[in-house]
């Protein structure tokens, strides 16, 4: 068994690999992921309740005033860019894709506010298509565990993980690494004392 598989197997013993954003269809997930930039999933879940109550279809969001959207999503921060992006991407989905969120990387990444990470989260979570998005948690944990080098770019980390991990495990690996980073191997105060991956760590912060 490879070192990477050993790490993932240990993570599976205490983490259930699943996303934490609330959504009912690909449209809601896409909007939620765009809104999640620089804030927490928990906070996004609070704001998407009133947002999707008012705009429960992509058609309604496409017709909404940007200022009305902004008012609802303001607590999440970056509300100028986020309201503009979700308004524009909704209009494009209605006009170009008949109201259906596209399910290819190429089409998703062409939407406003949708980068490599967001496109892959939507592919993985909404469409169950193999993808391995790298966010700040996945990047940090991968480097601490020696799955990538300290000076690797986010894209380097993604490509290295994809080479080391079987394609059919990419989605689970994304969730496992992300949740490990979010709840255990935190940026400033990782829980090194009780860490089950201490033996694999290149970067133990406190013994
Ligand atoms: S020992 Fe600490 S830094 Fe290393 S993986 Fe575990 S929690 Fe993260």
Q: Which of 135, 164, 198, 203 is catalytic?
A: 135
Report pLDDT for 203: 81
As given in the structure block, the two tokens for residue 196 are 């089950």
Report pLDDT for 100: 98
Q: Which of 126, 133, 131 is nearest to 169 (CA)?
A: 131
Report pLDDT for 58: 97
Greatest CA separation for the chain: 56
Report pLDDT for 205: 62
Question: Domains (ranges, CATH) in the chain?
Answer: 3-17+132-200 (1.10.1670.10), 26-127 (1.10.340.30)
Q: Say whether 117 is catalytic.
A: yes
Q: Which of 107, 117, 149, 150 is catalytic?
A: 117
Residue 15 in contact with residue 179, Cβ under 8 Å?
yes
For ligand 1, mutation pick of 183, 186, 195, 207 (most atoms within 8 Å of CB): 195
Instruction: Give, using CA atoms, the residue closest to atom 8 of ligand 1.
Output: 185
Report pLDDT for 35: 97
pLDDT in tens, the chain (207 residues): 999 999 999 999 999 999 999 999 999 999 999 999 999 999 999 999 999 999 999 999 999 999 999 999 999 999 999 999 999 999 999 999 999 999 999 999 999 999 999 999 999 999 999 999 999 999 999 999 999 999 999 999 999 999 999 999 999 999 999 999 999 999 999 999 999 999 999 987 644
Give dist(CA 111, CA 35) in Å, integer: 14
Report pLDDT for 206: 47
Q: What is the DSSP string of the chain?
A: --HHHHHHHHHHTT---------SSHHHHHHHHHHTTTS-HHHHHHHHHHHHHH--SHHHHHHS-HHHHHHHHGGGS-HHHHHHHHHHHHHHHHHHHTT----SHHHHHTSTT--HHHHHHIIIIIH--------HHHHHHHHHTTSS-TT--HHHHHHHHHHHS-GGGHHHHHHHHHHHHHHTS-SSS---TT-TTGGG-S--S--
Looking at the CA of residue 191, tell me the nearest atom of ligand 1.
Answer: 7
- Residue 21 Cα, ligand 1 centroid: separation in angstroms? 25
């Amino acid at each position: 068994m490879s070192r990477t598989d050993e790490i993932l197997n240990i993570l599976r013993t205490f983490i259930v690999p699943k996303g934490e954003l609330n959504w009912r269809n690909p449209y809601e997930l896409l909007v939620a992921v765009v809104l999640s930039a620089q804030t927490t999933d928990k906070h996004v879940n609070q704001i998407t309740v009133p947002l999707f109550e008012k705009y429960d279809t992509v058609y309604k969001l496409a017709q909404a005033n940007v200022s009305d959207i902004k008012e609802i999503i303001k607590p999440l921060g970056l509300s100028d860019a986020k309201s503009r992006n979700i308004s524009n991407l909704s209009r494009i989905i209605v006009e170009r894709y008949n109201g259906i969120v596209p399910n290819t990387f190429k089409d998703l990444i062409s939407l406003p506010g949708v980068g490599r990470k967001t496109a892959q989260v939507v592919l993985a979570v909404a469409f169950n298509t193999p993808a391995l998005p790298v966010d700040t948690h996945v990047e940090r944990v991968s480097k601490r565990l020696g799955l990538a080098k300290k000076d690797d770019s986010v894209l380097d980390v993604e490509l290295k993980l994809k080479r080391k991990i079987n394609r059919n495990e990419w989605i689970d690996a994304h969730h496992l690494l992300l949740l490990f980073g979010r709840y255990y191997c935190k940026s400033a105060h990782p829980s090194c004392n009780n860490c089950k991956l201490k033996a694999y760590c290149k970067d133990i912060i406190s013994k």
